[in-house]
Amino acid sequence: MMKHRILTYFVFPLFISMAVVGCKPKAATTEQSSSVVLNEQTAQSFATSIVRSMEAGDAAALNKAIDQAHIKMLVCDNSIVYSGFDVEGGQAYFEHCLQLGDQVVNALEHGGDFAFVRSYQEDGHQHVVFRIYNDYIIDFYDCLLDTVQGKIMIEDCYVYSLGTQLSENVKYNMLYNLLLQTNPESEVRWLREAEELTASGRHREVVSLLKDHEEELKDYPLFYQLYLVNLYQDNPKTFLSRLDALKERLDPRYLLFHQLHGCYTGGDVAGTERTVEQMIDYTGDDPIYLFLLGQAYENHKQYDKAVECYEILDKSMPLFWDLWQSELACYKVLKDQEAYDQCLRRGEEVFGLEE
């Protein structure tokens, strides 16, 4: 039932090619007080307003909340990347890489969900954590906040599915693309070859290639993004044990992100529960975790247990497409015609479907 492309969904959202995609104009973001003080209350208010804007289809609200000037300063500590802004399309590519709002709105338009799940303070810095869900995948944006000219802005953002800060991902992907153009025989040739092998489904070869060139490539976030995708695709049944061997080299959030997806897609109910308990320490609790537990039960063919999770979830958050589809599938297997018909009618009401 679960797709094996599960781990690939967020790995290649914006960064693989140097092609520049224009951004559609969106409505302006909500103005904030010119004298806002950043604290837990104002951080939560900021995060809530971002969610409302995303639900209204206003991708610009999140895009403009990202402090591009600060991230540009971070990426320009690499001299090659710094020079890349003088290349035609360099600035536009940089800006395109920061369009998180477009990703969120696209997910919502395709039956997904977006939520603010946690705020916290660490080392004197205020953070807010957003959760995005689409097509059986969850991801988290852990955003570091600051004030710029009296407005709350996102200074940088740890993206769970990328395993790194947004600024680091942008810097090394800009470096990768620039070196492909100016020095194609440098170490990035191995990343390009790994991409091509991945696209052709030669997953075991990718794993071997990347292991052989780890020392040259390990600073590139794309290295582990490609490595883990292909590690999973090569053999989903051994993925978790092979992932565990990397725990000393991976950010614990990145490890847990992949561990969670490996567990519930493989029908490992106990593993899913353990991983969720650990993730909550970082992300805060979230009803969507109950859906993933239901997925673990469903993939383990414990359809009655899966339905219990889904029915509880029906009461705690709005119906979304994948929840509805999963419930229908379980009721069909369980031959519960009454529940199936009720679920069908509810979906027709929410999604505007004709019988």
Q: What is the pLDDT of residue 35?
A: 74
Q: What is the pLDDT of residue 34?
A: 56
Domain assignments of the chain as residue spans, ordered by start: 6-173, 235-351
Q: Which long-range contacts (CB under 8 A, 24 or more apart) does 212-216 make?
A: 213/187, 216/187, 216/190
Q: Which among 218, 222, 225, 210 is positioned nearest to 8, based on CA atoms?
A: 225
Residue 45 to residue 128: CA distance in whole angstroms: 10
Class of domain 235-351: mainly alpha
Question: CATH assignment of 6-173?
Answer: 3.10.450
Q: Which among 51, 76, 306 is positioned nearest to 170, based on CA atoms?
A: 76
Cα–Cα distances in angstroms (integers) from residue 53 to residues 26, 48, 131, 295, in the given order: 11, 9, 15, 29
In sequence order, the 6+-apart residues with CB closer than 8 A to the CB of 149 are 34
Q: Which among 39, 257, 31, 28 is positioned nearest to 128, based on CA atoms?
A: 39
Q: What is the pLDDT of residue 7?
A: 45
The number of beta carbons lying within 10 Å of the beta carbon of residue 211 is 9
Residue 231 to residue 235: CA distance in whole angstroms: 7
Single-letter code of the amino acid located at 306: A
Q: Which among 206, 197, 225 is positioned nearest to 11, based on CA atoms?
A: 225
Burial class (CB in 10 A: 0-12, 13-18, 19+), 251: middle
In sequence order, the 6+-apart residues with CB closer than 8 A to the CB of 319 are 346, 347, 350
pTM of this structure: 0.87
What residues of the chain score a pLDDT lower than 50?
1-33
Burial class (CB in 10 A: 0-12, 13-18, 19+), 101: buried
Q: Which among 156, 159, 173, 129 is positioned nearest to 70, based on CA atoms?
A: 156
